[in-house]
């Protein structure tokens, strides 16, 4: 993806109003999209320490390549969105689809959508696709976890130890401000809680009826290939599993061109009268 192609997209910031606080959202619209019958937009759901800013150039590049509107939002408590006082409940992955995504969908006019989630955002995307099966045109997971695998938990425990170094927390504060400690605890204390051990997407995946693309890095330090393979096996709709060689936990940052090519090829058959993906 060339920088000139990505620069053709037009970002716009907005706020989604929720009873618990404001949710920050950013949209990228490809140049020349006005007047066309638009393809369903792609909604990006970030990882446990993520936010809109940490998607970096990927949303603009994806929008330009796919010809689709791309939307990313900071979950409540993250990035520019309002703070939360209490840590999330242990059902926070399903809760995103039940309590917060409906407000995002309604206020941003997402009659139909494609949902793309990275890491824990992938689990949330699965729940969104299941909860709104009649409106979700496609589901894309990237580095998603289906259950708390031993590798996942050991890597999270190791990361928690690294954040004892105050400089690491300061780096997180660049994106989350004074919410940085909450963001870290929302990740580590949720996943490492004994009560979270029973969490699984296995009962949710059969409710996903749309086409599914499960992307995973071969060397993902937070989960083996059992996760995308399970997503592919248990989803009710047609599914593709893509294991990327020489790739770790953040394929869209490590190999953005490869991820965008996969996504464009996957979405082409399910587009709704929108633009064709371009290279």
Q: Taking a C-beta distance cutoff of 8 angstroms, is the pair 23, 100 a contact?
A: yes
- The predicted model scores a pTM of 0.93
Distance from C-alpha of 37 to C-alpha of 35, rounded to nearest angstrom: 7
The structure tokens listed for 20 are 């618990």
Pairing state between β 136-142 and 212-217: parallel
For residue 67, pLDDT over 70 is answered with yes
For residue 12, pLDDT over 50 is answered with yes
Q: What is the mean predicted confidence (pLDDT) over 159-170?
A: 93
CATH-assigned architecture of domain 3-146+201-270: 3-Layer(aba) Sandwich (3.40)
For residue 10, pLDDT over 90 is answered with no
* 29 bridge partner residues: 10
Distance from C-alpha of 126 to C-alpha of 138, rounded to nearest angstrom: 10
pLDDT band at 192 (very low <50, low <70, confident <90, very high): very high
Cα distance from N-terminal residue to C-terminal residue, the chain: 6
- Per-domain residue ranges for the chain? 3-146+201-270
Longest Cα separation, the chain: 52
């Amino acid at each position: 993806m060339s920088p000139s192609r990505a620069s053709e997209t037009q970002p716009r910031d907005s706020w989604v109003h929720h009873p618990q606080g404001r949710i920050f959202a950013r949209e990228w619209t490809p140049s020349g999209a006005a007047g066309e019958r638009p393809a369903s937009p792609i909604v990006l759901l970030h990882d446990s320490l993520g936010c809109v800013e940490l998607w970096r150039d990927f949303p603009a590049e994806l929008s330009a390549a796919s010809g689709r509107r791309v939307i990313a939002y900071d979950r409540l408590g993250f990035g520019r969105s309002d703070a939360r006082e209490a840590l999330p409940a242990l059902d926070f992955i399903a809760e995103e689809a039940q309590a917060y995504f409906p407000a995002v969908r309604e206020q941003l006019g997402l009659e139909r959508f494609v949902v793309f989630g990275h890491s824990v955002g992938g689990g949330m995307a699965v729940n969104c696709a299941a909860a709104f099966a009649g409106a979700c045109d496609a589901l894309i997971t990237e580095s998603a976890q289906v259950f708390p695998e031993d590798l996942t938990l050991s890597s999270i425990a190791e990361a928690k130890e690294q954040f004892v170094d105050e400089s690491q927390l300061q780096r997180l504060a660049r994106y989350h401000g004074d919410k940085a400690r909450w963001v870290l605890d929302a990740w580590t204390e949720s996943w490492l809680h004994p009560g979270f051990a029973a969490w699984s997407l296995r009962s949710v995946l059969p409710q996903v009826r749309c086409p599914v693309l499960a992307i995973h890095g071969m060397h993902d330090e937070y989960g083996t290939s059992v996760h995308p393979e399970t997503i592919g096996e248990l989803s009710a709709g047609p599914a593709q599993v893509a294991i990327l060689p020489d790739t770790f936990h953040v394929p869209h940052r490590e190999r953005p061109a490869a991820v965008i090519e996969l996504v464009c090829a996957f979405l082409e058959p399910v587009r709704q009268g929108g633009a064709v993906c371009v290279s």
